[in-house]
Amino acid sequence: MEILRQTYSNVTGLVLGQHSDIKKVAEEWFKLDVANGDAREDTIKTYLSQVRQWFDWCEDQGVLPASAKADDLKRYRGSLVSHGAKHATISLKLTTIRRFYQAAVDRKLLTENPAAGIKAPRDRSAYEKTMHLTAGEAELLFRAVPDNSLRSMRDRAMLMLMTVEGLRRVEIVRMNVCDLVHMSDPAEAKILIRGKGKDSYIYPREDTIAMIRNYLDARGKLQVDDEGEEPLFASIDKGNTPRRRLSRIGLNGIVDKYFSSVGVKQKGMSCHTLRHTCGHLIYRETKDLRVVQEVLRHSSPATAAKYSDVDSKINRHTKNINIRIIR
């Protein structure tokens, strides 16, 4: 605890202007405090970026971060809105800042958290932005994977995990070979998902398991990365040789290529479109939002509720109410 307190004291000193190297000091704190001391490198970099941007805004506005008030955070939020930042971006920035200040309050280094209760504006168009493929379009996507090369086996497995099992992009790129459990027995097979905030297991379909096993059998062993793990999905060079862990940008390019090849690509479509596709198709088959919530691992039923929106539009149930309207 003393190490944590001293580290955060250094960060607080940094906020007060007593230190100049934000990356060195803040990175020490994030490594100790974020994700119970087990934060990934990309997570730490993201958090550092958010704090740095907040500090830069404070400097421009003549605000001392250690003395910032709720009104300052609201003004910062307003500046993000005025610059066209997306709802998810604003939410991430405010959440990071809120956690940063709360850690100082918990250690009695500050008396209050100025970011407490400051949230991103409501995303009123969230339902309309939930883009997804139809079942037919999803089938075309899989048919667009050309052959049985190593690259095709990898792509087919990744598309399956996103479209049918509902995984997020970050969950795909973080997957390691050691996360696969009992894959030789479809009845017992499960996969550890290193998700947002906490880890959990999924229980994939037999064809998903087969695709992953086919890919791994063809790929063979891969060198461990800087974290000492063997990545599941790797980049593949022109010689069909696997190299290193596939990046988020690399996965974006792969999915965009298949969207374009089947003629469904449009503005706003991304890897998350495949996760939305999973949610919509499950709801259309089960009409049970609890199932959608379980498969997509949403913490709140309200988040899963958006997947019923398309069905409600198609079926406009209120037209069956037998009330005659006199005009």
DSSP for 41-95, please give it.
HHHHHHHHHHHHHHHHHHHHHT--GGG--HHHHHHHHHHHHHTT--HHHHHHHHH
Domain co-membership, 297 together with 203: yes
Q: Calculate the alpha carbon distances from 6 to 1, 12, 205 in Å.
A: 9, 10, 49
Percent of the chain with pLDDT over 90: 36
Domain co-membership, 86 together with 17: yes
Domain membership of residue 161 (yes or no) is yes
Q: Which whole number is the average pLDDT over 58-75?
A: 91
- Report the predicted TM-score, pTM, of the whole model to 2 decimal places: 0.62
**Residue 21 in this model has a pLDDT that exceeds 50:** no
Domain co-membership, 162 together with 267: yes
Domain membership of residue 211 (yes or no) is yes
Q: Residue 311's closest CA among 188, 134, 73, 62?
A: 134
**Residue 50 in this model has a pLDDT that exceeds 50:** yes
CA distance 105 to 5: 11
CA distance 257 to 8: 45
**Amino acid 67: pLDDT:** 87
- At 319, is the pLDDT very low, low, confident or very high (cuts 50, 70, 90)? very low
Domain co-membership, 77 together with 199: no
What's the CA dihedral at 247, 252, 257, 263 to 10 degrees? 170
Percent of the chain with pLDDT over 70: 76
On average, the pLDDT of the chain sits at 80
- At 17, is the pLDDT very low, low, confident or very high (cuts 50, 70, 90)? very low
Domain co-membership, 28 together with 72: yes
Coil, helix or strand at residue 231? strand
Domain co-membership, 96 together with 233: no
Q: Which whole number is the average pLDDT over 248-261?
A: 94
Domain co-membership, 148 together with 288: yes
Domain boundaries, position 235: 135-314
Count of structural domains within the chain: 2
- At 8, is the pLDDT very low, low, confident or very high (cuts 50, 70, 90)? very low
Residue 276 is part of a domain; what is its CATH number? 1.10.443.10
Domain membership of residue 324 (yes or no) is no
Alpha helices in the chain (DSSP H): 2-15, 22-33, 41-61, 70-82, 87-106, 135-143, 150-163, 169-174, 206-219, 248-261, 271-286, 289-296, 301-304, 309-315
Most confident of 10-19, 72-81, 219-228, 260-269: 72-81
What's the CA dihedral at 278, 279, 281, 283 to 10 degrees? 150
